[in-house]
Structure 1
Amino acid sequence: MALQTRRRRWASVLAVSALAVAGTGALACPAGAAPQQVDFPTHCIPPAIAGLPPIDGTTTAKITVDNAAPKVGDTVAVTYTVVTPAASNPTDLALPADIMTPTGKVTLGGAQTGNVTVTGPKKNDPVPGRGAFPSFSMTGTFTVTSPGAITLSPGDYNIHTGYILELDTPCTVTQPPAPVSETVTATDSAPVNNRAITLGSSSGKPGDSVTVTGGDFTPGATVTLAGRSGATQTADTAAVTADAQGGFSGSLVVNDTTTTGVVAYEGGAWSQDKGAGPAAYTVVDDTPVPANSQKLTAAVKAGTLSMSQAGDSVQLSSVDFGKGGASQGALQTVTVKDFRGGPAGWSLTGKVTDFTGPGARIDAGRLSWTPACATKAGSPSTCRAGSAGAVGASGATLASTPDGTLTGGEFTVDAGLSLDVPAFTPPGSYSGVLTLTLT
């Protein structure tokens, strides 16, 4: 049977909307796990022009992240929200809207130490003379370098005002570090296996020799070449040694007429982590038909890789103006059918645009998902759900199946969706487009 592999790109457009509403009767956001809001003593120094002594007060703050379960090497976005600043407007002069620019630090502890620099937009409500500064948020990112639990604590911050005069009110944590507000648990990234093989031919008669060429193996390693019949290794094997660059070229005599592919691996047995293949190979059985016999041949026709979805729009839950938070919903179920019958797996990815609304937008990076994937009984492949986390404009994996000697099957893919809506997003409907691609 000739196996044919096809790669197909299929885009599914999902219209997603979130409603920010104000006033009595607004729908509340469903309760969920939230970072801890913490209080800590703070020492703030008003601008010298104000002629005021330092302010020793209490700051209330919280820290949120876009991915609480990253892998080493991932970039984590951090939001530091000062709910109640310790300082206030140091002058009798009322401050207009959008003249405050906050900056600050988030302190990392546990498995990874250091500081994350965060900055906020030039955005604020009007502040009356001697009035309390409003709540504000600052964002930044850090790259995960170590596995384990990483704690995040609020650090020093500065409130810069640019109205008539450029003034700064720096506030430092009196007893650092401040209490832990958020914790992320990082895991080791799986090592990338770049081993690969190619065959000198894709078919042959029983007893023919096929040339196997490989690359990116461990230099000097003994590499086993072996035939595969479906998921089972055959008795046809040979051994070669990788050169100083990790490459090799060897021959494998293939006798087993049920052979469907050839693999190469390091160690005593096949391993996905230290192997390559299977590369498709067919044995053409030309054994003569005995006298008074008839040779019967049947063919199985290879199909295609396809996907369909239960709908093309998702309505996320409403959140309150002034509070914001998680606007939640569920992805319309996607069904993937892999009827190609070859060795290639598939990957379903998604990316989203910014959410636009009445004179404002919500950044694409604020949409996150929690993927789930189910495999229909009898399918040769097993579906793997992607990691929970941000989707964003650059995209993320929703689900996939690995390469194998024989792949295929039917799969259903779902995901919980959550859009982190900023607290003072103007009321109205906000829509973005989530595009799914199957390869």
Structure 2
Amino acid sequence: MRATGTTGSNARRRRWVALLGVTALAVTAGGALAAPAGAVSTASQNVDFATHCIPPDIAGIPPIDGTTTAIITVDNASPKVGDTVNVTYKVVTPAANNPTALALPADIMTPSGKVALGGAQTGNITVTGPRKNDPVAGNAPFPGFSMTGSFTVTAPGAITLSPGDYNIHTSYILELDTPCTVTNPPAPVSETITATNGGGETNNRAITLGSASGQPGAGVTVTGSDFTPGATVTLAGRSGAAQTADTGTATVDAQGSFSGTLTVNDKTTTGVVAYEGASWSDEKGAGPAAYVVIDDTPVPDGSQKVTTTVRAGTLSMSQAGDAVQLSAVDFGKGGASDGALKTVTVKDFRGGPAGWSLTGKVTDFTGPGTKIDAGKLSWTPACATKAGSPSTCQAGSAGTVGGSGATLASAPGGTLTGGEFTVDAGLSLNVPAFTPPGSYSGVLTLTLT
């Protein structure tokens, strides 16, 4: 399988193209037809926006007014109300530079930021990134970085996502912050999703954080909406899937909103939640909103602080081949032309809360003088999770692939996700009885987000 790269000013989600070849439709079996190349469709896109960055006071330099290039991507562009959508905010080109003449080593940058929602649903999503970067020369531009977070869909319709303010925290000799704000908010829309009504009772509770990071013992402001008026809400830290000892409370007003402060002491905290009742539940809770504790504990005299770094990787996909030969059928009889998708391997080594989704859609099958409609191709997906993976792979539903597409496999978001997965599918093309003899081929495009 070939990966299609991003070119020009429009960034594209990562896509891989699987080419589906179909055997000759004749009285006798024919040979396989070489499959054509597939086209890559666009969705989210790079956007440029004016940014005002304030270097740390110690740098002794004035604010930086520059341009940030960024892109927003999601794992589900067609969610239902009540679904959780995982969001990735990638700063391709930051507006700020290393504010000092001192070269910075690798893996000392911790980014955080906001994604602005508009349209059918408004608000901000808190996003954070891993402590990961290439070395930065003195006064050189900061490298690009990615941040992830999630939100719950509360309203049907088109929801826009735009890059928001971001902060670059560096932990080297000194703990320094370079906050960058959107000069003329909101920034241009980078991604748009379309939500539909999910049916049944929906939990529309949502929370946002006043900041995405802080030192141990710092308080973070938590605001909530669509909670039960008059209810007492517990604010709590999360470390992975477990709740920490850091808790607080807030009271919901008559409009279903609240604002409270949670003091975060646990250095392993990765997120903050809020919920009604004695313990967390999906039905009466919101979050987790991503949060990073920046550990700047001084090293005692006569001691040495030993630190290691786990590098965050990428979400990637590979496949065992790029051509599938389906079984031949007879003219006058038609019927099922069967085969199997080449095994797809998904590796999620990002280390964060975002899940993933692998979808596919197919073109019409073209041949001599006619075509076989894309809706005639169906699949039966299967997915296996490698032992030790934090996430569990879920196979998509058996049914029609078609031109509008269907889900082949997915893994849900969570406090900590990742792993390695193998995806397969049985394929069946329903060939009409008197389809003219010859070879027919279509292009099955797989998209991993």
TM class by shorter-chain length? 0.5 to 0.7
CA contact (8 A) 1:266 1:275 kept: yes
Match of 2:341 among 323, 328, 331: 331
Q: How do residues 114-133 of structure 1 correspond to structure 2 at under 5 angstroms?
A: none
Partners of 1:327 and 1:229 lie apart in 2 by 50
CA contact (8 A) 2:274 2:287 kept: yes
Match of 1:14 among 5, 13, 19: 19
CA contact (8 A) 1:277 1:404 kept: no
Q: Which residue of 2 aligns with 1:262?
A: 272
TM-superposition CA deviations, 1:318-353 (whole Å, max 9, x none): 122222221111111111111111111111111111
Match of 1:399 among 409, 414, 417: 409
Deviation larger for 322-331 or 264-273: 264-273
CA contact (8 A) 1:383 1:400 kept: yes
Q: Which amino acid aligns with 1:410?
A: E
Partners of 1:252 and 1:363 lie apart in 2 by 57
Q: Which residue of 2 aligns with 1:366?
A: 376
Give the length in aligned residue pairs.
274
Partners of 1:302 and 1:18 lie apart in 2 by 43
Q: Structure 1 residues 429, 387: closer, same or farther in 2, change over 3 A? A: same
Gaps of 5+ in 2: 1-10, 32-79, 81-197
Q: Which residue of 2 aligns with 1:277?
A: 287
Partners of 2:330 and 2:210 lie apart in 1 by 64
Match of 2:235 among 210, 225, 228: 225
Partners of 1:416 and 1:356 lie apart in 2 by 21
Q: Which amino acid aligns with 1:355?
A: F
CA contact (8 A) 2:343 2:423 kept: yes
Q: Which amino acid aligns with 1:338?
A: D
Q: Which amino acid aligns with 2:239?
A: S
Match of 1:346 among 356, 373, 381: 356
Quick one: percent identity of the two aligned structures? 77
Match of 1:288 among 294, 298, 312: 298
Q: SS of the residue aligned with 1:359?
A: coil
CA contact (8 A) 1:310 1:334 kept: yes
Q: Structure 1 residues 236, 334: closer, same or farther in 2, change over 3 A? A: same
Q: SS of the residue aligned with 1:214?
A: strand
Partners of 1:356 and 1:16 lie apart in 2 by 11
Q: Structure 1 residues 26, 336: closer, same or farther in 2, change over 3 A? A: closer
Partners of 1:263 and 1:191 lie apart in 2 by 21
Q: Structure 1 residues 406, 353: closer, same or farther in 2, change over 3 A? A: same
Q: Displacement of 1:361 after TM fit?
A: 0.9
TM-superposition CA deviations, 1:114-151 (whole Å, max 9, x none): xxxxxxxxxxxxxxxxxxxxxxxxxxxxxxxxxxxxxx
CA contact (8 A) 2:25 2:331 kept: yes
Q: Structure 1 residues 317, 257: closer, same or farther in 2, change over 3 A? A: same
Q: SS of the residue aligned with 1:340?
A: strand
TM-superposition CA deviations, 1:43-87 (whole Å, max 9, x none): xxxxxxxxxxxxxxxxxxxxxxxxxxxxx9xxxxxxxxxxxxxxx
Q: Which residue of 2 aligns with 1:250?
A: 260
Q: Displacement of 1:293 after TM fit?
A: 1.1
Q: Which residue of 2 aligns with 1:426?
A: 436
- Residue 240 of structure 1 pairs with residue 245 of structure 2: no
Q: Which residue of 1 aligns with 2:193?
A: none
- Residue 205 of structure 1 pairs with residue 215 of structure 2: yes
Q: Structure 1 residues 394, 376: closer, same or farther in 2, change over 3 A? A: same
Could you say which structure has the larger radius of gyration? 1
CA contact (8 A) 1:279 1:343 kept: no
Q: Which residue of 2 aligns with 1:100?
A: none
Q: Displacement of 1:219 after TM fit?
A: 5.8
Q: What TM-score comes out, normalization by structure 2 length?
A: 0.56
CA contact (8 A) 1:399 1:413 kept: yes
Q: Displacement of 1:251 after TM fit?
A: 1.9
Deviation larger for 379-388 or 283-292: 283-292
Partners of 1:243 and 1:392 lie apart in 2 by 48
CA contact (8 A) 1:26 1:320 kept: no
Q: What TM-score comes out, normalization by structure 1 length?
A: 0.57
CA contact (8 A) 1:8 1:305 kept: no
Deviation larger for 261-270 or 422-431: 261-270
Q: Structure 1 residues 396, 218: closer, same or farther in 2, change over 3 A? A: farther
Question: RMSD value over aligned CA atoms?
Answer: 2.9
CA contact (8 A) 1:381 1:401 kept: yes
TM-superposition CA deviations, 1:200-221 (whole Å, max 9, x none): 1121122211112334555665
Q: Which amino acid aligns with 1:15?
A: L
Partners of 1:319 and 1:191 lie apart in 2 by 48
TM-superposition CA deviations, 1:14-33 (whole Å, max 9, x none): 2231532226x899xxxxxx
CA contact (8 A) 1:26 1:319 kept: no
CA contact (8 A) 1:369 1:416 kept: yes
Q: Which amino acid aligns with 2:14?
A: R
Q: SS of the residue aligned with 1:379?
A: coil
Partners of 1:192 and 1:12 lie apart in 2 by 36
Gaps of 5+ in 1: 1-5, 28-71, 73-187
Q: Which residue of 2 aligns with 1:356?
A: 366
Q: Structure 1 residues 254, 352: closer, same or farther in 2, change over 3 A? A: same
Partners of 1:200 and 1:367 lie apart in 2 by 49
Q: Which amino acid aligns with 1:230?
A: G
Partners of 2:235 and 2:12 lie apart in 1 by 27
CA contact (8 A) 2:24 2:30 kept: no
